[in-house]
Amino acid sequence: MGDVRVTRTPSGFVATNERGASVALGHGDGEFGAVELLQVAVGACNAMTVEPLTTQRGLRLPELSVTISAERSAPTLLGKVTVSYEIELPEGMPMAKFHEIAQRVHDRHCVVSRSLEAGTEVKLDLPDS
């Protein structure tokens, strides 16, 4: 996986990836907070993984969006994160099929959700001097 860099700027912070994309970080207008980015990652991972699995079957969803809500279990700890789908099914696709695909994505394919549920280790690499 490529690295992502977060850099302080005169007006806040900016995150950039190796492909040149960037996103403004902070608490002001037009900026994402850190927890919001975690929510974005969960939602994007689920939606962007469901999309090709439905499309491969010739069942492209006319509408697909997700809302991600997060609860705090302590001041510095998230509790439950919920992914809520808003979809329009294509003709001929039963809701049960969509449920099966979305559940499979959640259980086996979404790296972000699976990592959060597994409790992925985060390690600090601090400078020596």
Note whether 83 and 46 are within 8 A (CB): yes
State yes or no: pLDDT of 56 exceeds 90. no
Q: Looking at residue 26, what is its pLDDT?
A: 93
Would you say how long the chain is, in residues?
129
pLDDT band at 21 (very low <50, low <70, confident <90, very high): very high
pLDDT at 112: 96
Q: State pTM to two decimals.
A: 0.91
**33-42: long-range contacts, CB 8 A cutoff, minimum separation 24:** 35/70, 35/78, 38/70, 38/78, 38/81, 39/68, 39/69, 39/70, 39/81, 40/68, 41/112, 42/68, 42/81, 42/83, 42/110, 42/112, 42/113, 42/116
The pLDDT-based confidence of 1 (bands split at 50, 70, 90) is: confident
